[in-house]
């Protein structure tokens, strides 16, 4: 059955099943499970459910196992067809199959994705009722799902319950809680959780990024700076989004020198600035009236063939005080929506060349 998985088609697999049926050879459950998994991957749930029916009817002479049911539940949960997924669980029980933790984790995750908190909590309780014990994955799914619903108190309760089961929460459990607390402007609670994480486990890059981004959103620049230094000291490198946010906040604050320092740090860590970073820097220079630095930055961008978007072009023109009403070269600027759709790029070098031919040519001759 492997080739059905390779080429994305199940037609050949069906042909094999038909030949097996003609020759009296019965497929085993592993073979049928492989086909059901592939049908679910291709979103052919009706066909997958028909295969389950045929297994129940005895056509294939083999009874579905837990993996059969879990494969169907997994596929249905991924696309939000929770009623059918829960029906499969009922069928599973009726036919004498015990749900395992995988079954419960899939269903709980699916229910939380569509904000069915009470049904998810009921299934969580059912785990212990049927003699199982939730694992770290179960708690992580619950905590993450509840945080996305902004149910912070319920999520924190689960973190404590996790310890009662002898499980050690890790960064993956703390990060969604920290993010939600920051989103709710509950900064002190977010910091308390972060310190708790530091005591019980080593924070990872995601937990640092989450807290730094949250502190920046709340305007707590000094705290963000301390956390960034701690993060780097521990050997973690912020991602592009985090660097971009830090540079944006320093630029808006008018601390452009600190923004440039962070940019240097970013490049040293092997992360190339994107248009959002350059947009923030240009706005920062513009705020301080440092026109010469804007020209120098454009020169740097031109040498790196930075591709521009419409927002960055407007930022450049606004920061230089160029009004499009009386500047003929602006007519030559591309329609960005159409250009992007056609896969074309408009670079900073091209913009500088246009500017060098405009009324501002003297400023841009050196840039060329």
pTM: 0.74
Is there a domain that residue 43 lies in?
no
Q: Are both 171 and 216 inside the same structural domain?
A: yes
Q: Residue 19: is its pLDDT beyond 70? A: no
Do residue 197 and residue 253 come from a single domain? no
For the chain, what percent of residues have pLDDT higher than 90?
36
Question: 338 versus 350: which is more confidently predicted?
Answer: 350
Q: What's the distance, CA 154 to chain centroid?
A: 23
**pLDDT confidence tier of residue 1, bands split at 50, 70 and 90:** very low
179 is a domain residue: yes
How, if at all, do strands 346-347 and 307-308 pair?
Answer: antiparallel
Which residue has better confidence, 105 or 265?
105
* Per-residue pLDDT tens digits for 315-327: 877 887 765 554 4
Kindly state whether residues 170 and 225 are assigned to the same domain.
yes
Give the Å distances, CA to CA, from 175 to 5, 111, 202, 211, 222: 35, 21, 12, 8, 21
For the chain, how many structural domains are there in total?
3
Look at 67-71, 93-97, 309-313 and tell me which has the smallest mean pLDDT: 309-313
**Considering the domain boundaries, does residue 22 fall inside one?**
no
24-47: per-residue pLDDT in tens? 667 778 878 888 888 888 888 888
Helix (H, G, I), strand (E, B) or coil at 346: strand
Residues 155, 211, single domain; the answer is yes
SS3 of residue 273 by DSSP:
coil
Which of 3-7, 87-91, 329-333, 353-357 has the highest average model confidence (pLDDT)?
87-91
What is the DSSP track for 3-22? HHHHHS--HHHHHHHHHHHH
């Amino acid at each position: 059955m492997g080739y059905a998985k390779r080429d994305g088609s199940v037609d050949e697999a069906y042909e094999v099943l038909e030949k097996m049926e003609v020759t009296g050879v019965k497929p085993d459950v592993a073979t049928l499970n492989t086909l059901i998994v592939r049908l679910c991957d291709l979103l052919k749930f009706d066909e997958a459910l028909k295969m389950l029916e045929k297994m129940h009817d005895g056509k294939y002479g083999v009874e579905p196992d837990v993996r059969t049911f879990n494969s169907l539940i997994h596929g249905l949960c991924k696309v939000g067809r929770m009623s059918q997924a829960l029906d499969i669980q009922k069928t599973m029980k009726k036919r004498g199959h015990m749900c395992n933790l995988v079954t419960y984790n899939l269903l709980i995750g699916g229910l939380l994705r569509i904000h069915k908190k009470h049904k998810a909590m009921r299934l969580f309780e059912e785990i212990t009722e049927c003699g199982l014990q939730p694992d770290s994955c179960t708690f992580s799914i619950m905590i993450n799902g509840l945080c996305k619903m902004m149910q912070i108190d319920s999520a924190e309760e689960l973190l404590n319950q996790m310890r009662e089961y002898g499980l050690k929460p890790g960064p993956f459990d703390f990060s969604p809680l920290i993010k939600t607390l920051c989103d709710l402007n509950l900064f002190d609670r977010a910091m308390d959780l972060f310190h708790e994480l530091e005591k019980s486990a080593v924070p990872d890059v995601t937990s640092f990024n989450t807290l730094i981004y949250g502190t920046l959103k709340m305007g707590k620049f000094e705290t963000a700076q301390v956390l960034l230094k701690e993060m780097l000291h521990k050997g973690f490198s912020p991602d592009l989004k985090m660097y971009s946010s830090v540079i944006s906040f320093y630029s808006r604050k008018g601390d452009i020198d600190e923004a440039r320092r962070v940019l240097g740090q970013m490049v040293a860590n092997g992360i190339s600035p994107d248009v959002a970073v350059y947009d923030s820097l240009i706005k920062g220079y513009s705020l301080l009236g440092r026109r010469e630095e804007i020209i120098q930055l454009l020169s740097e961008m031109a040498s790196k063939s930075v591709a521009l978007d419409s927002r960055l072009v407007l930022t450049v023109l606004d920061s230089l005080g160029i009004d499009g009403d009386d500047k003929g070269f602006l007519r030559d600027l591309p329609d960005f929506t159409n250009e992007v759709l056609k896969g074309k790029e408009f670079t900073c070098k091209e913009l500088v060349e246009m500017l060098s031919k405009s009324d501002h040519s003297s400023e841009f001759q050196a840039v060329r």
